[in-house]
Structure 1
Amino acid sequence: MIYQYFPNLFEASLFNDAELVFSDGSMKVSRMILAGHSKYFYDFFTKNVTKTKFDIKNLKMANFKVYYEYLHSGDDFKIDGDKIVAFLQVQIELNLPDIRIKLIEWIKKKDFVIYLGIFYENSNRSELEEYHNLTEQLITINFKALCEIKAFDSFTRDNFLRLMRKDFIKDKDQVIILDIIARWVEYDFSNRKWDWLDLVSQIDYEKVERITLWEYVEKNEKIYLTPDLMKFLIPKIRVRKDEKIVVSSVGSKNSYSKMILFGGSNSLQSVVEIDIKQNSVKTIGNLSIGKWCHCSEKIGNDVFVLGDINSKKIEKYNLESNKSEVLSFEMTCNKHYYSSVVHSNRIYVIGGYLNGNLFDTVEYFEPEKMKWIDAPKLLQSIGRHSSVIVDQIIYAVGDCYSNKFQSFEPEKMKWIDAPKLLKRIGFHDSVIVDEIIYAVGDYDSNNFQRFDPREGKWSFLANIPNKTSFTALSVFGHTITCSGGEGTESLCQVYDIRNDKWDELANLTNRVYGAKSIENETSIIVAGGENSNQIQSYNKINKTWSIMDIKLPYKNYHSSKIWL
């Protein structure tokens, strides 16, 4: 203990006690002890030696008491996590030489390891940079022990991001880092999920050897709630060449809770929200211009409702305000039966029909720049097709008149011939499960095909029992569900990916064609359809369909949808 100002105390006549008033209370103190130890208090008290009550609002009494205990206890003082935080706050204000030495001494003790996280968290101010940097070095030395006690889970966002820099994690076990990140995110998922992708993008995946990324995904199911993270991890999931490839549910085990329908043939301007968890349906807004046989794409909190056969206008619908705005920039023509995808915040519009003719135009819309840009044309005109993205490559799937399959790399801005479909398809849907494209439904065949980009080829799967088009398609886990459709209005056909097998659920209560659907762990909801405003629900537990009490505001089919 250093009492460097004691020799001056008698001359200053600081014999009587004083009362210090803090922001959270007051207490009586010995002016002799405080002024002898600290220049801060020596100057503080000698300004007015007759004064007995002093305001010191820049310190809290709770923190000061720890410091005062230290002055009284000397070498018998016992440090712990709470006292560390208090000492740091005192040091910011007093800047005492012997406290600086003591803090560094405490940090380096072996039995102090359990407090390193607390010290790091509370030393991030510029005045404490010396301690902060030293603590980071000690965290590296004691990293394994800190992981075992889950020392990082409660870190604030700023401190965690500062610690998990690329230069800090590069020499650590990358699997352990992945686990630390997952635990930190799940500790406060709603506020931290947005950082998950940025954090794991710094991992060196060549060093992920102890467990596969697939096991990581299985262990941390909330990854399924962050689609962008799934898209990032899927290409990196490793399967050893000498092992049998196991079909996973990556990319399909979603937990969507809402489906929003935009427009449709009988409700051209409506915007309807269907909440599968709340079993609710409500009109949340209206479009300014009615649309049907069109597409909608989501970027951030905005949904861009694209044009149709009757209008080139684009509307931007905000999901927070539920307000719609007609943009000044239109589509280049009144087309329909086109497809659209989003890549790097660009909306690509591909092919379609114009005045009854197929065409090969591809263009993309940049919302930030508010303009359309021509992209290279398709190698062949297509319509009534679908488009999907796998590993940053856009695929245009199917066409009523050919079995051509085309792919586009946005970075190279070039279309190339991909392996042809085994049979032409149209009026179908394409879905992605485990980075494999499944082309579902067809207007004149019950053939069912998939394309694996890793193998670079199409293959036939088990035929769908009853050919269908304009079906309500939903995907969950290892299953693809087709509800209703042209020629199968009352059927619900389910494909099991793991067993390459189709099955039929109980018949729908009402026949539907052109409906939309959403699915989760417990139910399937099928909404609308041609000449229907009813909503049907399938209970996966008792395996029955029922008509819900709630209805769509209008009969609805050929709407566009997004899942949230």
Structure 2
Amino acid sequence: MSGKAQSGYSYEFCDASHSSEVLEALHEFHSSGLFTDVTLQSSSGQLFHCHKAVLSARSSYFKVMFTLDMRERLNDTINLPCINGEILGALVSYVYTSKTSITQNNVQSLLEAADLLQFNSLKKACESFLIHLLDVDNCLGMHSFAELHVCSDLQHEALRIILSRFEELTLQEEFLEVDFQKLMGILETENINVWKEVTLLDAVIKWVAHDTAPRIDHLQELLKCIHLEVDDACLKTALDLRKGCSENKLRSLIRTSLKPSKGFSQCCKKLTCSLYVIGGYYWHPLCEVHMWDPVSNTWVQGKDMPDFERESYNVALLGPDIYVTGGYRTQTVDALDTVWIYNTDSDEWTEGCPMITARYYHCSVALRGCIYVIGGYTTGAPTQETEFYDPLKRRWFPVADMIQGVGNATACVVNDRVYVTGGHYGYRGTCTYEKIQTYRPDINEWSITTICPHPEYGLCSVSLNNKLYLVGGQTTITDCYDPERDEWRQMCAMKERRMECGSAAINGCIYVADVRPLLFGSSQIMLENMIIRFWFHISSKRETNQQEFFIFSSVNHLNCYHENLRRLDPAIYNSKLVSVMSI
């Protein structure tokens, strides 16, 4: 090769292991104390010898400290009195290895320290961990913690639980200890989710009665927050005469102070759960997403699911995300392990981590911050395999097998347990399973809880008021199971059979969506047995096939649903429903 040709030759070399080797070398320098030029001291006096350059590379707090004209710049030892030795050690380990262990015991202290020292990636990881732990018994404290440390995602998800499960929240000890400003802020929120007219009033009374002396002066302000109109002068006079009132006395005083013609219905708020319909089948698989707003009674179409040749999948809601798992290709009937995730806040789809086992006609539920996928078909007979997805670890994990593998069954969560009802078993699903299988995640164990009075497949189960409701299938029967009493009750029948329907609960009502032939269309709500429990259905046109919603209520009145539900075109079946809290 000529010299001229060689001079034009070049090769851009990139060492793929360079960054990991540098990090490993820095870790060795730290461990041996080589080239260290600064010492961090914890509140307990523990010393950690570090490198200014390394600390500055991961923390803008230290970068500013070591570059600007600050007193600490000239000191060899930096005292950190707000951080204990264990947490500071975890931070230093993270800086030199990119790893640290986050646990329930250290996550809050670790986040506080990461926030103070501006280790942003670690702070975000701790925030995600706390979101994973969110529940109704800790959401108030988590929300306050998130506000203090500017954790927007944690604050958002804590608020979602506060608003969507407000009635449950009022039963928690944490609610009784909440401060006045926080309670007032919650009650003033437009989309607090209550469906009983007196829920907000009961919450106010319970909070005031818990510590009457310092809280009684806030009662009138709180009543204004829930739009309950009372005679202020009358109520103030009555309260001045009765310091230290019980809940019943407070309720009586408020009743007597109500302005004429102003009842408890004035405190009813908007219903802000939305109903999402995912996919379905209309001559071919549908990939559409439709959202129904019960307040405005309008439909809005979301972004289509990217995988449009897929059917017999299942869906589960976790926070703002709807997980669509499994299914099969229409042309090949090959089981799929694919997962797509729809974010209801951003109206965006992302592809998730594939399942361990490809399956279709399976069940899926959200439990303890994870997505559980249960049973279904893989090839011939239904599988017993169960697995769960941890969004934090971004991995699927196998758990105990079901007692009996079933396909086309239904599952829901009641009191932190998974109840799987009905479905087919045997080769090609030739038999209908009559027993209800229950999974306890705390001990990773399945058991038989009870026998279903009307064994079915293609039905839906819904959790409402700590009870299990079974709707749809080949009959019009609605069954209700109370796990605490181990009792079954048969409720009023649906208007028509609903095979492979979708269902969800919103504001004390069960919605069931599917298609059926109609001889006579009607634009009126049809009510049946309005005294205690009833079903009603709505249709809007005289057509042979149309989408309908059947609604079951467990109360004797529905303030917000005495209007026509608008029809969703086209008429579809095998669609999946979830209810999502809007905030």
TM-score by length of 1: 0.48
TM-score by length of 2: 0.46
